[in-house]
Structure formats: C-alpha cells, structure tokens
Chain A
Amino acid sequence: MARYALRVNGQNREVDAEPGDSLLSILREDFGLTGSRFGCGEGQCGACTVLLDGAGARSCVTRVGSVGAKAITTIEALAEGDRLHPVQQAFLEVEAFQCGYCTSGMVMAAVGLLKTNPNPSESDIARLMDRSVCRCGTYPRIVQAVRLAAGRMRTGSSAIGGE
C-alpha cells in the first residue's frame, strides 16, 4: 500500500492504494466521482473514459501507479456550473443516448477526440470512438452529436439552442 497524490478535476487529492489498483475504482469509491461508470473492467467498452492531460483514457485499466502528475478530468468537471460543455449540450439536444450508461464515457471520449481533431468526418468519429460501446445502439446519433459539437466549438459559437 502506498500513498498517491493525484490531480483530479483541478484539485489535489491523496489516496492509499496498491500501485495496480484501477484509477476507476479510486475515482468512484475513494473520491465519490461515480459519473465514470464501470462497464467491463477490460478497457473494451469505454464507459469509464476520463481525460489524462486532455487525452481520453480508460480508467478501468489505468493503474493508479502509472498516473503520476497527469491531470485527471472526469465528467463531473466538464460543465461550468449550469453551463454544459458543448459536447454535453449536443448529446442532450440530439438525445444521443437511451439508457445513458455509456454517456459519460462517450462524452469524455468525444471531448478527447475533438482536442486533437477539431473537424472530424463521420468516418473519423466512427474510427476514433470504435472502442466505446453503446449497447443500446445509439451510434448514429452519437456521431451526429459529436459533429454538432465540433462545428460549434470551431466557430466558437456559444449560441446554444434553448432546451
């Protein structure tokens, strides 16, 4: 057991854990950040996706000992107060979910994707998000939502339609 200092959603947090313990279990159990979901524990479904230094990462197969000083961002820190992140807003408007269990991970994966590829085509999105699973099969709407968010983020448009 060792003590780890982590940077989570802009705050310094400490936790006692084994180096091989998953980052997801620490986020959920020790820090109460349950928005990142457990889906498979194999890194195959993406429900646990968070950002590490801005890049999408599967927290269920990320060992806490490997995180170091990287900044961890979870779904809880995406909105600014009541103002949703453009990706969240697009998912809400397009209603790009059914049961919603994959949504946190999909949103985080999309945010990570758009940081490196601000203007992805539909096939880019399908390729880059292929490791995230929506078992309800909402893929076409998720692609549509990511494109909508990308367009708004590129133009810096905050003109978000009313709900």
Chain B
Amino acid sequence: MEPERYELSEARRYRFELERRDFMRLFGSGLVVMVAAADALAQESGRARPQGRADTPDLAAWLHIDETGRVHVCTGKVEIGQNIRTSLAQTVADELRVPIASITMVMADTDKTPFDQGTFGSLTTPRMAPQLAKAAATAREMLIDQAAARWQADRATLTARDGRIVAKDGRALAYGELTKGQALSGTIPAAPAVDPRDKWQIRGTAIKKVDGRDFVTGRHQYTPDLVRPGMLHGRVVRAEGYGGTLVSVDDAGARAMAGVTVVRDGDFLGVAAPSARAAARAATAIQAVWHVPADQPSSETIYDYLKKHPDRASTPAAVDTIQMPAGVARTFAASYRIPYIAHVPLEPRAAVAEWQDGKVTVWTGTQRPFGVRTELAEAFRIPEDRVRVIVPDTGSGYGGKHTGDAAIEAARLAKAAGKPVKLVWTREEEFAWAYFRPAGVIDIKSGVDASGRIVAWAFDNWNSGSSGIQTPYDIALKPTVFHASKTPLRQGSYRALAATANHYAREMHMDEMARALGVDAVEFRVRHLKDDRMRDVLNAVARKIGWPGPSAAGRALGIACGTEKGGYVATAAEVSPVPSGGGGKTATGFKVERIVIAFECGAIVNPDGLKNQVEGSVVQGLGGALFEAVEFADGHLRNGTMEQYRVPRFRDTPVIETMLLDRRDLPSAGAGESSMIAVAPAIGSAVRGLGKVDTALPIRLLSSA
C-alpha cells in the first residue's frame, strides 16, 4: 500500500514534532492527546522511535476535549466526498463513548492540523482511523484516571459511557467536568486500550453524513463560494497550446478598464478585476502572442510515442526476453492501449488568496494541503510558516487535485493587486490545464501447459503505472516490468491509479485464454488462485449474476476480479447488443444492462457510506470503460469541454447490485478506489460474448458474433 510515483510529486523532508507546550497554547485548557507520527511508526513496526526520520509516515493527529465536553479532532486529511468526516468521527465517538454529535472534525488547515502527506491511496481508513482510535482510547482511559483520583475510587470499578465516567454506585462526572480548568496532556501508551473489532458499537453502523443537511440546502461553502472583504476576481490568460511561451502582450485595453490589474510574470499572464465578469472581459481584451512547439504527439500516435520515449534508462521488455519453459503447449500475446482520461471533478480548481503582513492564506480544494503549502512557499520564496492553506470540504478530486495550480495563480494575482483574489477555473481550463490519468501500453505474453495451467506470464506496462501490476494468480514464471515514459500531456494520480489499466489488461487476457482453452472463466481463475479472499468475492459475484448464463437470450455475461489497496473485488457484467446507428464516436455497439459487484475490504466502518463509494466507483469505472478518452493533437485538446468529453450520466447507469462482504476478523482496508478496478474487464469480457472486441479502452464491439 505504498504510494506509487504518481502519488508523490516531491521529496519528503525532515519534520520535527510539535512541542507539548505549543500544543497546549493552541488548545488552551482541557485534555489533549497527540499522536505523533513517530509513535505510529514505532507501534506498527515494533522498532524504536525514529527521531526526525525522513521517511516518517504521515499519521499524526490531535484530539482535544474542551471543558464543555466537546471533542475536537484535528487531522490533515481532506473530505472530498469519500465520507471520512463522518467515518473518522464514528471511530472517535466509538472509542470515547460519546455521541457522534459531540465531535468536531477539524480537517486540512495547515495552521490547525498536524502535517499530513495527503489524502490519497485509500489510506485514511486503514491508517488514520486506527491512530484516532488509539488517541480516543487513551483520552478515555485518562478520563477514568481523573475520575478515580477525584473519587479516590478503584479505576477498575469505573466505566466511560455516553460522555461521562460512571461509578458502580451511580455517581457520574461528565467529561467537561473532568477537563474543566485542567491542562491534561497524554501520549499514546505502548498498548492503548483500543476496542477489539468485535466490540465496535458505532463503527460498523450506517451513520448518516454528519453535515448532510448543508449539502441538500446548498448552504455548504466550497472554495468557489467563499467571499473575503474587498475581494477581487482573477482570470488567467492561457497559452495557445501545450508548451507555449509568451512572445508579446498588448494589455492596453485591459489596463484601461476600471479596477483591473494585469500581471505578467514570465509566462504567467493574468488579471484581477472587481468582478468575475469584469475579469473575463479584461482577459479577453488582452492580445497575447504565444509560441507553441510544433510536431507534438497526438492521441493517435501516443502509444507508439510512449514505447519509444523512455523516461529513464530503457529496460528490456519482459515479453521480449521471457524464455517459454519446456512443456508450454500454447502461447498467447496481446497489446492493450489505455488512453489519457480526465478526472472532471464537478468543482473546478479554485482558490481564494489573501496576503496580510507578508503571510499568505489560501483556501483551495486540494488533496494535499501541506504539499500545496510547500508549492506556495517555493513559488513566492517565503518560509512555510508564512503560508496557510485551508481546504473547505471539496467538490471531489478522484486523485486530480494533488497540485496547487489555482492556489499559486490566485496568490500571484492577490500579491500584485494588494487585495484578496478569488480564482475559479473554467471547465475548459480544468480539462486543458489540470492533469490526466496516464496513457499507457500494456503488452502480455503468456504460456499454458497441456493441462491448461498458466506456466509463464510476461507483463510490460509502458507509462500507465505500477499499481496493481503484479498478477494475483499462482504462476511460476512471471516477469513483470513497468517502463516509465516521457509524456506529452501532464499526467498524475487518478482514482485507483494504474490498477484499473493493469487489471483491464490482465483480466481481459485471462478471459481470452479461458475462451481459447474452452474453460469456464470462473473455473480458470479459481484454478490459479491461492487466496481465499479473492475466491470468495469471485464466487459471490458468479452466484449472484447467475453465471454462466445471461438472464435473456442475445445477452452475454463477463466477469473479472482483482485486489488493490488491501481490498478484494469481483465484478460481473451483463450486456446486450445495440444495432449500429446513432451515438457518434461514443457509440459502443452494446449496452451494459447490469453490473454485480462483490467487495471485501476487511472490517466495514460505515456500510452505507461504503456502498455509496462502491456504486460510485462502478459508475466512474463505466466512464473509462465506455466513453472516456482525451483526444489531442499539436498541443491542443480536441474534446476539452463537457459537451465533447462524455462522462457517465443517468441513462448510462445500469442496474447495480452491490454485495459488501464484512470481515470483522480483518483490519479495514482502503475502499474508495479499488472497487472500480474490475468494471472495465468485466464489461470487455461480456462484450466478447457478443462479438469481436478491440483491445483498447474504451471498449468497442467491432463486429457481431
């Protein structure tokens, strides 16, 4: 579960822990428990505490109980729709024995929360939640100690219940009474009294979103909704194409407009104006001449380009070097193409920046608030303690909001204008100037023996990424290589990273072999699986969809499975043919009628929130499977608008049947991403039942059977 390269865009640096007295100054009286990152590492690995180690994981958290009994939980994680504001509160409420309403989650404010590497990799539930559980259990035990001392009672006779410490004789003290006027601080003991999973009361239940009402009333304020006193509105003048450099600017028209500031700094060109409409008009009035490099790759030439342009010393391809062992009766080879796709978060990148006394505060929707703090500090050559980044709960990210582009641009404009500036990217900017899920080429060569067992498996992935690259199937010889390539388009993290691409190629290839050998696709997989958790999800899905027969004549079923971020998933799809005609370039030739998914991620913290995530990831997976592909040529996007770039809509959504396999006997794994990885190969395999299918994404039925 280590981050892959697309999740890490900068080197880690040393970090030193906050002094205890600073901590008390921050919170005032009450009770605090701080989880230092190093505590977590020492406990996880059993090693000695590594002071100031550069590789300390980001697991720090603070918990404070004030004198009214209200619990403040500070974490650098961000809420982007994945429901951690609620699920983390559940964890704390459960351990502390308080109602969930008495918890305030303070999230993603670099001045108020401990350092956090970022919200990615589905790490919040498996890594941060246990830290908060330890902090809450420690606080609970400290409160029992306080009450025992006050009553001169045996602590073993006291229990924590509903925000109070209760004695056997009926006496009770509310947490606020115990913390009032105190300055108690605690650290996590070697063996904190955390509840075993089978004792969970609030965890494991379908608690509603703690702030759900603010969303249905429109009251929640995302970054684009914020207003600061005297605030101006920004707009950036973009290059005419990728790699463009600014040759000349005529901004006389814009400068003549009332209240407009024009900023040119290197290749950055932007305006600040009293309203967003005025900023748009001023930006339009600027005449800029750009030089855009010629002969850039296109969405047609990209696959060849990626193979021919290694990013570091080229490694020989496994498919070229593998020696098929003796006994191989049959070999298979295929090449799968994965296009760049866009995240299309509905909230575009946005930031509000405000300078005061040489310190800049930026509100922005990002998954890496501390990373954006570093970006700002570097961009403006100021120390990080003069940068504050605050992340309002954000209109999604899906891995697409790791960078601070809008934050830096808004801060640059605000600095020039001497007033706060809000910058909200247009949808076209969001498509063109954010970044994409990497395009890639995946080549596979495999060999089976006479009994139908896979004995050789060579797997090469160019550029798409290494997440999920290792086959879960039991194969003796399986050389697997990731080849980093130069990329003409800016690329980065995306929900489930390359696990989607790697599972697509691997499972489509498994399907192809099973078909060629005349073996049932489920049986063929089970034959090569040693892992019971994978078998369980696969068998659950097969039973539910009625494998191997479709529900109606003329339809076809497909199935796929996989594991990623510690979770196990199997997905089955039922498809029907759609006669050609209409639909244009997004016409697939088939319709997805039904998706059945079984997902197992260990112990489930919030089954309703998890179901929502799993269904959502299926729908998002449909996009990449059916329509999504960035088209580009000569440094320009050809489908960089919401109209041209098709994302899944109501009518694209099939019946989705979700099975969540709760395993209280296992620790919780990440869940926001892995449930999407088997959607595309399940569909691709089903469509093969209708006719010939291209090996590229998105899936197209080339001809009927």
Chain A residues in contact with chain B, CB under 8 A?
A: 17-18, 21, 25, 28-29, 32, 34-42, 44-45, 47, 74-76, 78-79, 84, 88-89, 91-92, 95, 97-104, 107, 125-127, 129-143, 163
- Overall SS of chain B's interface: loop
* Contact yes or no, A137 B649, CB < 8 A: no
* Contact yes or no, B225 A34, CB < 8 A: yes
**A-side contacts of B233, CB under 8 Å:** 29
Interface size range of chain B in the complex: 35 or more
The listed residue (A21, A47, A79, A141) touching B217 by CB distance below 8 A is A79
A130–B345 alpha-carbon span in the complex (Å): 18
Q: Which residue of B lies closest to A44 (CB)?
A: B642
A76 nearest CB across to chain B (Å) = 6
Interface 1/0 per residue, B215-229 and A, CB below 8 Å: 111111110110100
- Given A137-B618, A138-B612, are A98 and B83 neighbors across the interface (CB < 8 Å)? yes
- Given A40-B427, A84-B217, are A133 and B82 neighbors across the interface (CB < 8 Å)? no
Q: Which residue of A lies closest to B655 (CB)?
A: A140
* Contact yes or no, B346 A99, CB < 8 A: yes
B656 nearest CB across to chain A (Å) = 6
* Contact yes or no, A101 B396, CB < 8 A: yes
CB<8 Å pairs between A and B, sample of 8: A39-B348, A84-B216, A88-B217, A98-B616, A99-B394, A100-B220, A135-B398, A137-B653
A79–B608 alpha-carbon span in the complex (Å): 26
- Given A41-B426, A100-B395, A101-B346, are A95 and B208 neighbors across the interface (CB < 8 Å)? yes
The listed residue (A107, A130, A135, A139) touching B396 by CB distance below 8 A is A135
A88–B214 alpha-carbon span in the complex (Å): 10
A97–B182 alpha-carbon span in the complex (Å): 41
**A-side contacts of B563, CB under 8 Å:** none
* Contact yes or no, A92 B213, CB < 8 A: yes
B259 nearest CB across to chain A (Å) = 14
A137–B216 alpha-carbon span in the complex (Å): 17
- Given A101-B222, A102-B346, are A135 and B647 neighbors across the interface (CB < 8 Å)? yes
* Contact yes or no, B346 A133, CB < 8 A: yes
The listed residue (B215, B347, B393, B616) touching A137 by CB distance below 8 A is B616
* Contact yes or no, B218 A42, CB < 8 A: no
- Given A25-B277, A92-B212, are A42 and B641 neighbors across the interface (CB < 8 Å)? yes
* Contact yes or no, B650 A38, CB < 8 A: no
The listed residue (B81, B276, B277) touching A136 by CB distance below 8 A is B81
- Given A18-B277, A35-B217, are A140 and B347 neighbors across the interface (CB < 8 Å)? no
* Contact yes or no, A99 B80, CB < 8 A: yes
What are the 5 tightest A-B residue pairs by CB atom distance, in nearest-first order? Answer: A35-B218, A137-B619, A99-B81, A101-B395, A100-B215
Interface 1/0 per residue, B361-397 and A, CB below 8 Å: 0000000000000000000000000000000011110
A18–B277 alpha-carbon span in the complex (Å): 9
**B-side contacts of A74, CB under 8 Å:** 218
**A-side contacts of B653, CB under 8 Å:** 126, 137, 139-140
Q: Which residue of B lies closest to A78 (CB)?
A: B217
* Contact yes or no, B224 A140, CB < 8 A: no
B161 at the interface (CB under 8 A from A): no
A42–B344 alpha-carbon span in the complex (Å): 14
- Given A25-B276, A98-B82, A103-B215, are A135 and B346 neighbors across the interface (CB < 8 Å)? yes
B643 at the interface (CB under 8 A from A): yes
* Contact yes or no, A37 B346, CB < 8 A: yes
**A-side contacts of B650, CB under 8 Å:** 125-127, 129-130, 132, 139, 142-143
B57 nearest CB across to chain A (Å) = 26
Q: Which residue of B lies closest to A60 (CB)?
A: B427
B615 at the interface (CB under 8 A from A): yes
A83 nearest CB across to chain B (Å) = 11
B616 nearest CB across to chain A (Å) = 4
**B-side contacts of A103, CB under 8 Å:** 215-216, 218
B484 nearest CB across to chain A (Å) = 29
**A-side contacts of B186, CB under 8 Å:** none
Q: List 9 additional contacts besides A92-B216, A95-B612, A135-B344; criterion CB under 8 Å.
A: A21-B277, A37-B346, A99-B393, A107-B216, A132-B650, A134-B346, A135-B398, A137-B619, A138-B612
B648 at the interface (CB under 8 A from A): yes
A84–B212 alpha-carbon span in the complex (Å): 12
B88 at the interface (CB under 8 A from A): no
**B-side contacts of A130, CB under 8 Å:** 649-651
B424 at the interface (CB under 8 A from A): yes
A44–B225 alpha-carbon span in the complex (Å): 20
**B-side contacts of A141, CB under 8 Å:** 612, 615
**A-side contacts of B426, CB under 8 Å:** 41
* Contact yes or no, A139 B347, CB < 8 A: no
A38–B656 alpha-carbon span in the complex (Å): 29
- Given A75-B217, A99-B346, A101-B395, are A126 and B651 neighbors across the interface (CB < 8 Å)? yes
**A-side contacts of B218, CB under 8 Å:** 34-36, 74-76, 103-104
